DNA sequence: TCCCAGGCGATCT
DNA sequence: AGATCGCATGGG
C-alpha cells in the first residue's frame, strides 16, 4: 500500500493523543498570528499563555486548560480522532518514531478560509518569521481592532486598503486580486466547503498566485482535507533525506503525517 | 554580506 | 509534460 507510511505514523502517534500541545501548534507553521505570551521566568514554562485569533474571536489559554466554547473546539479539530486504528503491518521505522514523539500534540486547525488563502499566498518564498511580519502588517493596516489586537481584514477591507508598503513584494498583486475575487463574489469560499477535494484544488489553483503547494495548504488548514499534503522545500528535504526521494505522503491522512514531519524538520535545521 | 525562505507563472524544450 | 528562470523582501 502506497500510504502505509502515513497510516503507520498515526498508529504510533495514537499512543500520545490524549492531549493537545498549544505551544507546538503556535510554532507549527500552519497559522501565523498565534502567539506564546511571555510571562516571567519559569524554567518549566508552566505559566505560559497561548493566544489564538480566528475570525473575530481571541482565545487566551494555558496548557492543560479545558476548552468548552464550540467555536474553539471546532478550530482545534476536537471531533477528529487522531488515534485512528489503522490496519496492516506495522513496519518499525526509527524516523517515524522520532517524528511521532517530537510532534505529538499538534492538530490540524480549521482556520478561516480567506485568512488561510491570503496568508499562504504571502507565504511563497518567505520564511515563517517573515510571513508573520507581513500578515501582522496587513492586519494592523486594515483589520478591525479588538482588545488591542487587530483582526484579519475582511475581503472588502483588503480591497479598499493601500497595502503597497506592507512588504508583500511581487505577491502584492496576487493578494489584491484574490481579495477582489472574494469581495466581488466571483468566488465563494464558504461554498467551497462542499466541493470534492479534486474540485476544491481546481478552484483554488485557478486563483493567480495559488499553485499546487499553496492550494494544498488551504485545503488542509482551512478545509480539513487530510489527504492534502503540501510539499515545500522542507518536505522535499525530508523526502530526499529519509525516503530516498520517493514521496510517501499519499493517502487519506497524508496531510497529518506531512504536518508532523514538517514540524520536525523546521526544528532540526542542522540535519 | 550572503544565503535562503511552507512557490508561482512564464517560457522554453 | 517536464525543466529552467526571474521574482521582491526580510531573517538568520
- Distance in Å from C3's C1' to A193's CA comes to 35
Residue nearest to nucleotide B7 (CA to C1'): A124
pLDDT of A100: 84
Residues having Cβ less than 7 A from any atom in strand B: A 28-30, 120, 123-131, 170, 205, 207-215, 217, 230-235, 258-259, 262, 266
Residue nearest to nucleotide C8 (CA to C1'): A169
pLDDT of A74: 96
* Runs of H (alpha helix) within chain A: 4-13, 22-26, 70-75, 94-103, 113-123, 128-142, 155-160, 172-183, 197-205, 212-221, 233-242, 254-266
pLDDT of A42: 55
pLDDT of A85: 34
pLDDT of A40: 60
- Distance in Å from C2's C1' to A237's CA comes to 21
Residues having Cβ less than 7 A from any atom in strand C: A 125-127, 129-130, 133-134, 167-170
Separation between Cα atoms, residue A205 and residue A199, nearest integer Å = 10
- Distance in Å from B9's C1' to A259's CA comes to 27
pLDDT of A9: 66
pLDDT of A97: 78
pLDDT in tens, A173-223: 999 999 999 999 999 999 999 999 999 999 999 999 999 999 999 999 999
pLDDT along chain A (271 residues), means of 10: 64 60 97 89 71 98 92 93 43 74 92 99 98 98 97 98 98 98 98 98 98 98 97 96 91 92 95 73
Phi/psi at A193 (nearest 5 deg)? -60, -30
Amino acid at each position: 500500500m502506497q500510504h502505509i507510511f502515513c497510516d503507520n505514523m498515526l498508529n504510533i502517534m495514537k499512543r500520545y493523543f490524549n492531549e493537545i500541545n498549544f505551544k507546538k501548534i503556535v510554532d507549527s507553521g500552519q497559522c501565523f498570528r498565534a502567539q506564546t505570551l511571555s510571562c516571567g521566568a519559569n524554567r518549566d514554562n508552566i505559566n505560559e499563555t497561548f493566544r489564538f485569533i480566528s475570525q473575530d474571536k481571541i482565545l487566551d489559554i494555558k496548557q492543560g486548560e479545558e476548552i468548552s466554547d464550540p467555536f474553539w473546539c471546532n478550530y482545534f479539530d476536537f471531533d477528529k480522532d487522531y488515534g485512528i486504528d489503522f490496519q496492516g503491518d506495522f513496519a518499525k521505522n526509527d524516523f517515524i518514531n522520532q517524528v511521532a514523539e517530537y510532534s505529538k500534540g499538534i492538530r490540524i486547525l480549521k482556520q478561516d478560509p480567506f485568512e488561510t488563502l491570503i496568508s499562504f499566498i504571502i507565504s511563497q518564498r518567505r520564511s515563517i518569521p517573515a510571513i508573520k511580519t507581513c500578515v501582522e502588517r496587513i492586519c494592523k493596516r486594515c483589520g478591525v481592532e479588538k482588545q488591542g489586537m487587530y483582526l484579519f481584514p475582511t475581503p472588502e477591507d483588503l480591497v479598499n486598503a493601500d497595502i503597497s508598503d506592507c512588504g508583500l513584494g511581487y505577491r502584492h498583486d496576487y493578494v489584491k486580486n484574490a481579495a477582489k475575487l472574494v469581495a466581488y463574489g466571483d468566488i465563494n469560499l464558504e461554498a467551497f466547503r462542499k466541493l470534492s477535494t479534486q474540485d476544491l484544488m481546481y478552484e483554488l489553483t485557478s486563483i493567480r498566485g495559488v499553485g499546487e503547494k499553496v492550494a494544498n495548504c488551504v485545503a488542509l488548514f482551512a478545509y480539513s482535507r487530510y489527504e492534502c499534503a503540501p510539499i515545500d522545500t522542507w518536505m522535499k528535504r525530508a523526502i530526499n533525506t529519509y525516503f530516498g526521494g520517493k514521496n510517501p505522503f499519499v493517502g487519506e491522512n497524508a496531510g497529518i503525517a506531512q504536518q508532523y514531519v514538517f514540524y520536525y524538520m523546521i526544528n532540526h535545521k542542522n540535519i
